[in-house]
């Protein structure tokens, strides 16, 4: 079993991004600038956005963090997005999800200038992705493709099972893995919470991508010997042995599944770090596409 090491791969990719950013600046380009909007104070969202801002500093990007109250109206939030759309200094915009229940995420995402949509969530970005046109890929699936590429894992002809059908992971992941590319060229089955006999699918999978958001949902009896397992889940569970009283686990029962695998991502230090790489690559691309 080989661990797919998010620390190693993201370190390598961040070094590439840093160098490319310096070259861009040396040729007259301006520093990439990411603007993040955080609505309310969901602790997980706080942590994710904090990490994104920290990575901007590390890579030599500018960043703006806009903190807005949980009771902001949808119209006022869209007005804030429009200000960033019209701000020439800003290259990339992300609105951290989930949003409070009274705000439609679709309406807010639709308001983002597609040229600044570094999360790749806008219908124009997603449409381009479906058609295989150059675009901003959603950060997590993009990061997973970068990881498979780094380890030179040839997925051609593999049976790939994606568990989860969200717009931000499961659906784009299914598409990218089936595309005529490597990584890609796989025969992909999308499973989800209503799939009957999930095990019948996963036991036949050469690669399982788990993005279902349920702690340790994929158990050893669901995985065939030699499979590749990519764990997208980040779930906080109680753990009285920890000082904080909790710890993070993935969607995969790592301790029991890992011995069966050819490759597996850990949680933490796996896919989460790759998501940041996808976002940062998109932000640099947005800055370059905007021009000097
Ligand atoms: N919430 C969970 N994942 C993401 C992500 O990749 N981007 C944003 N904006 N919100 C998220």
Q: Comparing C-alpha atoms, which of 290, 275, 287 is closest to residue 23?
A: 287
Active-site residue (options: 14, 96, 116, 117): 96
Q: Tell me if 289 is assigned to some domain.
A: no
Any domain includes 249? yes
The mean pLDDT of 269-275, rounded to a whole number, is 97
Residues 6+ apart with CB under 8 A from 203: 222, 223, 224
Dihedrals phi, psi of 33, to nearest 5 degrees? -130, 120
CATH number where 47 lies? 3.40.50.10860
* 267 and 158 housed in the same domain: yes
Q: Are residues 146 and 234 located together in one domain of the fold?
A: yes
> Is residue 234 a part of any domain in this protein?
yes
Does residue 278 lie in a domain region?
Answer: no
Q: What is the mean pLDDT of residues 209-236?
A: 98
Cut 0.85: pTM above it: yes
Contacts of residue 177, Cβ cutoff 8 Å, sequence gap at least 6: 155, 160, 162, 183, 184, 186, 188, 207, 209
What span, in angstroms and rounded, lies between the C-alpha atoms of 189 and 277? 26
- Residue 292: per-residue pLDDT: 85
Residues in contact with ligand 1 (CB, 6 Å cut-off): 94-97, 119, 139-140, 168, 275
Q: Which of 52, 91, 126, 251 is catalytic?
A: 52
How many domains does the chain contain in total? Answer: 2
Grade residue 108 by pLDDT with cuts at 50, 70 and 90.
very high
- The pLDDT mean for the chain works out to 98
Ligand 1 nearest atom to the CA of residue 138, by list position: 6
- Do 254 and 166 fall into the same domain? yes
Q: Is the pLDDT of residue 219 over 90?
A: yes
Within a domain: 96: yes
Domain that holds residue 194: 139-272
pLDDT in tens, 64-74: 999 999 999 99
Active site residue 119: yes
Respond yes or no: is residue 96 known to be catalytic: yes
pLDDT tens digits for 131-142? 999 999 999 999
- Average pLDDT of the segment spanning 217-231: 98
CA of 85 to the centre of ligand 1 (A): 19
Take atom 11 of ligand 1 and give the residue whose Cα is closest.
97
Distance from C-alpha of 279 to C-alpha of 61, rounded to nearest angstrom: 12
């Amino acid at each position: 079993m080989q661990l797919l090491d998010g620390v190693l791969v993201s370190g390598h990719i961040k070094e590439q991004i840093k160098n490319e950013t310096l070259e861009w600046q040396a040729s007259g380009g301006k520093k990439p600038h990411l603007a993040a909007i955080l609505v309310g104070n969901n602790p997980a969202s706080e942590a994710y956005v904090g990490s994104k801002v920290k990575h901007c500093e590390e890579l030599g990007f500018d960043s703006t963090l806009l903190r807005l109250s949980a009771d902001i109206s949808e119209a006022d939030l869209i007005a804030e997005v429009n200000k960033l759309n019209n701000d020439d200094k800003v290259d990339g915009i992300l609105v951290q999800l989930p949003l409070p229940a009274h705000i439609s995420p679709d309406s807010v995402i639709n308001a983002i200038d597609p040229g600044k949509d570094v999360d790749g969530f806008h219908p124009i970005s997603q449409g381009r992705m479906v058609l295989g046109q150059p675009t901003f890929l959603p950060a997590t699936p993009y990061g997973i493709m970068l990881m498979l590429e780094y380890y030179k894992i040839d997925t051609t002809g593999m049976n790939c099972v994606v568990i989860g059908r969200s717009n931000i992971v499961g659906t784009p992941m299914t598409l990218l893995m089936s595309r005529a590319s490597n990584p890609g060229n796989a025969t992909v089955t999308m499973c989800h919470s209503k799939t009957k006999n999930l095990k019948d699918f996963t036991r036949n999978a050469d690669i399982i991508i788990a993005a279902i958001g349920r702690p340790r949902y994929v158990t050893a009896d669901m995985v065939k010997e030699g499979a590749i397992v990519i764990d997208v889940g980040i779930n906080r569970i109680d753990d009285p042995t920890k000082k904080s009283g909790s710890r993070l686990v993935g969607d995969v029962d790592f301790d029991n599944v890992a011995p069966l695998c050819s490759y597996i991502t850990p949680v933490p230090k796996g896919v989460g770090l790759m998501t940041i790489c996808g976002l940062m690559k998109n932000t640099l691309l947005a800055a370059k596409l905007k021009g000097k």
